[in-house]
Amino acid sequence: MRKLTGLWRGPVFWARIVQTALLCVVTVVMLGANKSPFERIGHQLICTCGCGQILLECNHVGCTYSTQEIAELHAQLDAGASETAIQHFFVAKYGPTVLSAPLRGGFDNAAWIVPMVVFLLATIGTFAVVWMWKRRALRLAGGIGNVVAIAEPSIPQDAALRDRIRRETEY
Amino acid sequence: MISHPMPEFGSFCLLLALILTAYNLAVGGLALWGGSPSGLRITRRPEAVWNRLGETARRAGIASFVALCGAAFALVYAAFTNDFSVEYIRAHSNIALNPAYKFAALWSGQEGSLLLWAFLLSAYGLVLRMRHRVDVRLTAFASVIMAGIQVFFLLLLTVGAPPFSIAPGPVAADGAGLNPLLQYPEMVMHPPLLYLGYVGFSVPFAFALGALMMRYPGEKWIHITRRWTMVTWLFLTIGIFMGAHWAYSVLGWGGYWGWDPVENASLMPWLTGTAFLHSVMMQEKRGMMKNWNVWLIFSTFMLTILGTLLTRSGAVSSVHAFAQSNIGAWFYIFITIVFAVCLFTFFFQRDHLKSENKLESLVSRESSFLFNNMILLAACFTVLWGTLFPVLSEYVQGSKVTVGAPFYNRVNIPIGLFLLFLTGIGPLLAWRSTSLRSIRRNFILPSIAMAVTFAGLVISGLRPWNDGDDMQSTFFSLIAFTLAAGVITAITEEFLRGANVVRTQTGKNLLASIVLLIRRNTRRYGGYIIHFGIVVMFIGIAGGAFNQAREMEMSAGSTIDIGPYHLISTGMTQDSKPEYDTSYLVLNVYRGGKYVTTLSPEKRVYFAGTDHEQPSTIVALHSTAQSDLYTVFEGTNPDSGLPIIKAFLNPLIAWIWIGVVIVVIGTFIALAPNLVRTAVRQRQEDQVPVGASPLGVPGVLAKVPHA
């Protein structure tokens, strides 16, 4: 049985994988930036009546809060205000909790950056740990060949080894 | 002085349970210490004395269950007999309340739900203590740790939040009634199931901590706790999705998960518990990841307490406001003590947790488990971060912010897709190391399935680049459907490959071979079925990208068209029930010109036993595998007097609930014992040439490297 060698274990290969994954994440996160301003901003705000729902999804009939907020959003858009200006308007009027997610910049950015950084560090860390363990295992076994010998029982008579492998590989 | 016999009986039972549990903790702990090599030598036969003392502690623990049964009975009895002298019953029940919901009053408020927690903990403790012969010493450790947790809840119930407090002043003629949102059949089931999940994690936690404290040799404690963990995980899964189904059916906003802090609190231990169930296999099979597993189960237990803390303390804003109170400080102290105990035990016993094996290849089952754990913990961290960020923001910036669905969806969907990807490839990789040939053989069909699905979906019109506003959600759905096709193909391939070997050996037909295959290795194939259920749920979730909604005022005869459905209103009707007034609209639903069904979305106003009217929405829906037609009567326009109907078309929602059912079935299969082969068959199979069978006989690696 052939083992994974060369390219599969090379740091360049994994670095490329990580780069590609990063590019995909950034691309995906950037997607969806072309919603209509009303839809986009309406989904960045919540109804302030206490229901905690997204402004454009609030289903309380007679909810004066959402009706008023939607009217204000229309008025701001009609006046040609920018997205940031509209956000500032709502934050100034209703407080920062009117935004459905931390969008004000500054410390709010930490809400978005930290999970991504943790995810990336965890991914890289896991790769590093696996890599380190694998190297150590190879060193202890005295080379790749010995590992292959364990993975593929070449001595069928060795019942103890086979029993161990069976025990270790049963799902 | 007025006598209140039943509440007094309940309070007495709680006090008795506290004394018995404290005895279990103190004397049980003393007996364990005394019986250890460093323990006291007070007699010639110290072991017999300490064992006898430990036995009394175990029996005290069993007796505490009886006492808590008495307390729970007293509260339920008070609800059924409308004893409004008890403040808790006055606040959460009323005379006209349906008996099923009177029973649910036990967990509909703060004090009652804490009593339920303590009761369930004592029930788990009862089973654990009755089955102590599995491993007497380890069970004794676990029993004492469980008693420690129980003491906290009983102290809380007797001092911090007593459920049998007598209402001040004269006894009320009627109670305030149950929150209308909770008067729904699933609400009778959802909280106890969720609590069974939360509380159940105490057992593997207690075993893990106990095993570490006593430096338990080997991995037997994992075998002992495996079923506990799986059953607990199953309860939590059902509880979470029953809650999601309740939200979908009752709250009337068309969705099922709002990323509310209390929802998040139930999701976090589920994520870490799922990670534990996977990574513990590495310890069980290969003696690896011992430190990691111990901290995973510690974290899972602490997250269940953190969830309760978030629910009760009001630290974060939640729509589950009915559960908020001032007992947060109790939980802060408890979680600190638990963390300290875990940390100290780990610090002093860490040399006991050395791995017996090291990982040998990047492309192996062990690696996939590591990445699976990383993804699940990353998702858990994201949820925790989002839940606590408002508190952090207030501390740093002086003002709270809202962290709502847009944040969680954007951050968690890519993580979820990565997890779906790993669900597919993980089981295809072999333990220790995977060869290129094996990769080629195992991945070719799933890869083809993914390519065909992707192309088919794009050809049939699922093109994110054409979807403008919905580009991102369409893109994620496309990826999810594509990955789902790959994972389902991989799972099917696994079943067929194994079944073919069984068929060759036994001559049975394919279906019988599959059944035999599953029965011979319930754990492995039950696991595959669980994975299949998760994939089906992902398909249902991905369908959310194509939700449609329409809202309009409807007089008699007016119509709404949504998706393939044509809805015609026949007018609004009003009715009055003992507990509520109701208004509902009758909508005849047609599809392709043919009558399908009649929907009656309802708006209720509850008044019985309450100081003020409480409106409630009753959703009417027509569910098929393709989509749900979901209608909500939002109320009447104050100007025109006309009813306003909001109709949603939610594609593939039913797949989520079907997926949960599959997960439940898979878990039951995984819990079932393997079919024991007869000695004759064992000999026959052992004579099969090396490498010919994937069913656990010698040679398993050579033919089925992914086993």
Of B363, B399, B696, the CB nearest to A8: B363
Asked if residue B148 and residue B198 are part of one domain, the reply reads no
**CA dist., res. B620 & res. B618, Å (int):** 7
Neighbours of B563 (CB within 10 A): 17
With CA atoms as reference, the chain A residue closest to B355 would be: A133
Which residues span the domain enclosing A68?
A: 36-103
Cβ-based neighbours of B541, under 8 Å, separated by 6 or more: B416, B480, B656
Task: Check if the beta carbon of residue A111 is closer than 8 Å to that of residue B386.
Answer: yes
Cβ-based neighbours of B679, under 8 Å, separated by 6 or more: none
Task: Check if the beta carbon of residue B457 is closer than 8 Å to that of residue B481.
Answer: yes
Q: How far is CA B164 from CA B12, B154, B608, in A?
A: 10, 13, 23
Q: Enumerate the β-bridge partners of residue B552.
A: B645
* Helix pair angle (B110-130, B136-155), 10° resolution: 170
The C-alpha of B173 sits at a distance from chain A's nearest C-alpha, in angstroms, of 32
Q: What is the mean pLDDT of residues B69-73?
A: 95
Q: What is the pLDDT of residues A93-104, one digit of tens each?
A: 888 888 888 887
What pLDDT is recorded for position A164? Answer: 60
Asked if residue B226 and residue B114 are part of one domain, the reply reads no
Report if residue B230 sits inside a domain. yes
Report if residue A123 sits inside a domain. no
- The first and second tokens of residue B206, run together, are 């207690």
Report if residue A52 sits inside a domain. yes
Among candidate residues B127, B156, B177, the one where a domain is terminated: B177
Asked if residue B579 and residue B449 are part of one domain, the reply reads no
Q: What is the mean pLDDT of residues B627-639?
A: 86
Asked if residue B166 and residue B216 are part of one domain, the reply reads no
Which residue did the predictor score with more confidence, B5 or B120?
Answer: B120
Q: What is the pLDDT of residues B287-333, one digit of tens each?
A: 788 888 999 999 999 999 988 787 776 667 666 655 556 788 889 89
Report if residue B254 sits inside a domain. yes
The C-alpha of B286 sits at a distance from chain A's nearest C-alpha, in angstroms, of 6
Q: Enumerate the β-bridge partners of residue B629.
A: B622, B649
Number of folded domains that form chain B: 4
Asked if residue B573 and residue B530 are part of one domain, the reply reads no
Residue B169 has pLDDT above 90, yes or no: no
Which residues on chain A are in Cβ contact (under 8 Å) with B378? 115, 118-119, 122
Which residues span the domain enclosing B475?
A: 405-545+656-703
Asked if residue B208 and residue B118 are part of one domain, the reply reads no
The ipTM estimated for the assembled molecules is: 0.78
Helix residue spans in B81-219 (DSSP H): 87-92, 99-104, 110-130, 136-155, 185-200, 202-213
Q: Which of A6-15, B16-25, B26-35, B682-691 has the highest mean pLDDT?
A: B16-25
Average pLDDT, chain B: 86
Of B258, B389, B432, the CB nearest to A111: B389
Report if residue B358 sits inside a domain. no
Asked if residue B294 and residue B271 are part of one domain, the reply reads yes
Q: Which of A60-74, A75-89, B31-45, B359-373 has the highest mean pLDDT?
A: A75-89
Asked if residue B89 and residue B17 are part of one domain, the reply reads yes
Asked if residue B500 and residue B439 are part of one domain, the reply reads yes
- Between chain A and chain B, the number of residue pairs with CB atoms below 8 A apart is 219
Interchain CB contact of A2 with B (< 8 Å): yes
Report if residue A59 sits inside a domain. yes
- CATH number, domain with residue A83: 1.10.8.640
Report if residue B1 sits inside a domain. no
Does A32 contact B381 at a Cβ distance shorter than 8 Å?
Answer: no
Measure the CA angle with vertex B542, ends B538 and B547; round to 5°.
140
**CA dist., res. B452 & res. B251, Å (int):** 39
Does A99 contact B402 at a Cβ distance shorter than 8 Å?
Answer: yes
What pLDDT is recorded for position A30? Answer: 47
With CA atoms as reference, the chain B residue closest to A134 would be: B360
Does B433 contact A151 at a Cβ distance shorter than 8 Å?
Answer: yes
Indicate the helix (H) or strand (E) that contains B648: strand B643-651
Amino acid letter, B78: A
* Helix pair angle (B365-397, B261-286), 10° resolution: 150
DSSP string, chain A: -PPP-GGGG-HHHHHHHHHHHHHHHHHHHHTTTTS-HHHHHHTTBB-TTTT--BGGG---TT-HHHHHHHHHHHHHHHTT--HHHHHHHHHHHH-GGGBSS--SSTTHHHHHHHHHHHHHHHHHHHHHHHHHHHHHHHHHHTSHHHHHHHHTT--TT-HHHHHHHHHHH--
Report if residue B29 sits inside a domain. yes
Instruction: Band the pLDDT of A60: cuts 50, 70, 90.
Output: low
**CA dist., res. A134 & res. A140, Å (int):** 10
Asked if residue B218 and residue B308 are part of one domain, the reply reads yes
Does A170 contact B317 at a Cβ distance shorter than 8 Å?
Answer: no
Chain A interface, best mutation among B360, B380, B434, by max A CB count within 10 A: B360
Of B370, B385, B415, the CB nearest to A114: B385
The C-alpha of B288 sits at a distance from chain A's nearest C-alpha, in angstroms, of 11
Which residue did the predictor score with more confidence, A112 or B551?
Answer: A112
Report if residue A108 sits inside a domain. no
**CA dist., res. B628 & res. B234, Å (int):** 26
Place of tokens 């069978």: B693
Interchain CB contact of A101 with B (< 8 Å): yes
Among candidate residues B142, B177, B212, the one where a domain is terminated: B177
The percentage of residues in chain B with a pLDDT greater than 70, rounded to a whole number, is 90
Of B260, B401, B435, the CB nearest to A97: B401
Task: Check if the beta carbon of residue B261 is closer than 8 Å to that of residue B323.
Answer: no
Beta strands in B490-593 (DSSP E): 548-553, 559-562, 565-576, 580-591
Does A168 contact B361 at a Cβ distance shorter than 8 Å?
Answer: no
What pLDDT is recorded for position B697? Answer: 37
The percentage of residues in chain A with a pLDDT greater than 90, rounded to a whole number, is 6
Asked if residue B630 and residue B586 are part of one domain, the reply reads yes
Asked if residue B531 and residue B580 are part of one domain, the reply reads no
Number of folded domains that form chain A: 1
Instruction: Band the pLDDT of B266: cuts 50, 70, 90.
Output: very high
Interchain CB contact of A8 with B (< 8 Å): yes
Does B285 contact A168 at a Cβ distance shorter than 8 Å?
Answer: yes
Q: What is the 3-state secondary structure (H, E, C) of B343-364?
A: HHHHHHHHHHHCCCCCCCCCCC
Which residues on chain A are in Cβ contact (under 8 Å) with B415? 119
Report if residue A93 sits inside a domain. yes
Which residues on chain A are in Cβ contact (under 8 Å) with B397? 106-107
- The first and second tokens of residue B666, run together, are 């898979």
Does A34 contact B469 at a Cβ distance shorter than 8 Å?
Answer: yes
Report if residue B361 sits inside a domain. no
Which residues on chain A are in Cβ contact (under 8 Å) with B432? 147, 150-151, 168-169
Q: What is the mean pLDDT of residues B71-97?
A: 90
The C-alpha of A70 sits at a distance from chain B's nearest C-alpha, in angstroms, of 15
Instruction: Band the pLDDT of A17: cuts 50, 70, 90.
Output: low
Report if residue A9 sits inside a domain. no
Q: Enumerate the β-bridge partners of residue B586.
A: B571
Q: Which of residues 65-94 of A touch B (CB under 8 A)?
A: none
Of B389, B470, B702, the CB nearest to A102: B389
Report if residue B173 sits inside a domain. yes
Residue B550 has pLDDT above 90, yes or no: no
Q: Is B470 exposed, middle or buried (0-12, 13-18, 19+ CB in 10 A)?
A: middle
Does A43 contact B406 at a Cβ distance shorter than 8 Å?
Answer: yes
Of B406, B432, B475, the CB nearest to A101: B406
> Which of A52-61, B20-29, B35-44 has the weakest average pLDDT?
B35-44
The C-alpha of B55 sits at a distance from chain A's nearest C-alpha, in angstroms, of 36
Which residues on chain A are in Cβ contact (under 8 Å) with B434? 4
Does A169 contact B367 at a Cβ distance shorter than 8 Å?
Answer: no
Q: How far is CA B82 from CA B102, B531, B548, B665, B668, in A?
A: 9, 47, 46, 40, 40
Which residue did the predictor score with more confidence, B276 or B437?
Answer: B276
What pLDDT is recorded for position A4? Answer: 47
Report if residue A156 sits inside a domain. no
Q: What is the mean pLDDT of residues A142-163?
A: 50
Does B635 contact A111 at a Cβ distance shorter than 8 Å?
Answer: no
The dihedral sign for the CA sequence B522, B528, B530, B532: negative
Report if residue B362 sits inside a domain. no
Residue B382 has pLDDT above 90, yes or no: yes
Residue B681 has pLDDT above 60, yes or no: no
Beta strands B614-618 and B643-651 are: unpaired
Task: Check if the beta carbon of residue A11 is closer than 8 Å to that of residue A65.
Answer: no
**CA dist., res. B223 & res. B283, Å (int):** 11
Q: How far is CA B447 from CA A13, A68, B644, in A?
A: 21, 51, 48
